[in-house]
Amino acid sequence: MFPDAAPARQPGADEVLFLPLGGTGEIGMNLTLYGHDGAWLIVDLGITFGNDDFPRFDVMMADPTFIAVRRERLAGIVLTHAHEDHLGALPYLWKRLKCPVYATPFTAALARYKLARAGLERVPVQEVALDARFDAGPFSVEYIGVTHSIPEPNALLLRTAAGAVFHTGDWKLDDDPVVGRSYDAVRLRALRREPLLAMVCDSTNAVVPGHTGSESGLFAPLLELTEAAAGRVLVTSFASNIARLVTLARVAAAAGRRFGIVGQAMERMVAVARGTGYWPSDLPQLVDARHLGFLPPEEVFAVCTGSQGEPRSALARISAEQHRDLLLDPGDTVIFSSRVIPGNERSVRGVQQRLRALGVELVTDADAHIHVSGHPAADDLRRLYGWVQPPAVIPVHGTPRHLVANAAIAAECHVPRVRVVENGDLCRLGPEGPELLRRVATGRLTVAADGRLAPLPAADLAAMRAAAC
């Protein structure tokens, strides 16, 4: 950790401060602070999971000490969308922050569910309409619709008396999304007329050339694979990707198979999608997971959790023949409609090896076009920079390699000022570009066996930072 030796001061009325505590120089656990006129605003409060290299830590999150000791000046927490790396820390950290939470309907529904499970039913989660504007202390916040791999992803325009910041959140440019609206191209182009100080931009796919494909392009290849399969078809994907689940339900119907979902996280996501209007009424009726094992194999099309090899997931238990509802036979097909998050390779490989030992046919994204990312590739970044024409760019949401790649693209697009920062870099956003003021203490918290939060040991923290590089 870094010593926070500089004397504390409050953000001035003539400045906007930017401080990432998590999610910059790494994948996951996003936590970004903006300061203005004596107040602070949190954008996102996420977690990350332990992986093959650090299996002792199931759940980790950014240490919020910097803002927790200043919580009397905290105007609120604004959530961009409902992925775990953007809202998953809310039930763990809210007691340290105790401020209003702002979110659009789908995200608010998931936030309330997570808080209720933690015994925090009375947390003030304020539901905000899509494209709405609202005030949080001295910040005027506008939600701007984008596309991603979950319903209601939002970018944010944060206006202050000292200027505005465009915070992209996670995004892609999908012209034909399966669920929800497309991105608001007109509003994004109009941002060049705003008094922007900086654009804070997602870097996750900056090293990937070309454009990120559309979610709608997966139906045909998935249907082809399903029609060629002889036995059961089991697909694993990210539980939060409602659009993928909708596509898979339509594939099952087109192939004349019965559709079921296996795994609590996925079942919960479908329930929230139903409650917020994101589960189309024309989809086939879900078969209860308990009944899938009684159907003829050629009629089964099931979707399950476990695409990252999580040891307690449905797919991990199925591969070990320990699942109570579903077993696989030789000749069945398992489709990995996902990408492997770096660090999970060994876990995924173990699950796949067990499936092959059962005589199961495996299909991954290396074999067929069965997955698209939710993040912008290099040409998508170029397109958005051309629309917004920001005076400055700060790359976030990625390892150092991703941040540097995004910075190079921004410079190529003639962005006047580009600054690569790290977690703990306190910057002033002004007409001359992001100015580094000082470093503040950062760290990670993990959930101990007794459920309490504990700081990550310094040696493990150093190893994780080295691995990210």
Measured distance CA(314)–CA(436) in Å, rounded: 46
Measured distance CA(271)–CA(279) in Å, rounded: 9
| Residue 283 sits in the same domain as residue 406 | no
pLDDT at residue 8 in the model: 57
Would 100 be classed as within a structural domain?
yes
Would 284 be classed as within a structural domain?
yes
| Residue 20 sits in the same domain as residue 118 | yes
| Residue 419 sits in the same domain as residue 282 | no
| Residue 162 sits in the same domain as residue 292 | no
pLDDT at residue 55 in the model: 67
State the amino acid at position 95 in one-letter form.
K
| Residue 223 sits in the same domain as residue 348 | yes
- Relative to beta strand 361-363, strand 333-336 is parallel
Which of residues 310, 341, 363 is at a domain's end?
A: 363
pLDDT 10s digits, 431-442: 999 999 999 999
State the amino acid at position 414 in one-letter form.
H
| Residue 188 sits in the same domain as residue 236 | no
The CATH number for 149's domain is 3.60.15.10
The CATH number for 308's domain is 3.40.50.10710
Closest CA to 196 of 155, 162, 163, 169: 163
- Per the structure block, which two tokens stand in for 438? 């000082």
| Residue 350 sits in the same domain as residue 400 | no
pLDDT 10s digits, 266-324: 999 999 999 999 999 999 999 999 999 999 999 999 999 999 999 889 999 999 999 99
- Per the structure block, which two tokens stand in for 57? 């830590």
**C-alpha atoms less than 13 angstroms from C-alpha of 429 in its C-beta half-sphere:** 31
Full domain range(s) for residue 155: 16-210+373-468
DSSP per-residue string spanning 266-302: HHHHHHHHHHTT-S-TTSPPEEPHHHHTTS-GGGEEE
| Residue 50 sits in the same domain as residue 155 | yes
pLDDT at residue 4 in the model: 46
Would 169 be classed as within a structural domain?
yes
pLDDT at residue 184 in the model: 92
Would 191 be classed as within a structural domain?
yes
| Residue 77 sits in the same domain as residue 46 | yes
Would 8 be classed as within a structural domain?
no
pLDDT at residue 335 in the model: 98
pLDDT at residue 53 in the model: 65
Residues (pLDDT < 70) of the chain are 1-8, 51-55, 464, 467-469
| Residue 416 sits in the same domain as residue 441 | yes
- Per the structure block, which two tokens stand in for 451? 């459920």
Would 35 be classed as within a structural domain?
yes
Name 455's Cβ contacts closer than 8 Å, sequence gap at least 6: 63, 443, 444, 445, 446
Which of residues 363, 381, 397 is at a domain's end?
A: 363
| Residue 335 sits in the same domain as residue 222 | yes
Would 1 be classed as within a structural domain?
no
Name 353's Cβ contacts closer than 8 Å, sequence gap at least 6: none
Residue 334 to residues 246, 300, 422, Cα–Cα distance (Å): 18, 12, 39
Would 10 be classed as within a structural domain?
no
Closest CA to 108 of 170, 67, 171, 154: 154
Domain total in the chain: 2
| Residue 162 sits in the same domain as residue 26 | yes
Rounded (5°) CA angle 22-24-30: 40
Closest CA to 128 of 147, 115, 142: 142
Which of residues 336, 363, 390 is at a domain's end?
A: 363
- Relative to beta strand 453-455, strand 444-447 is antiparallel
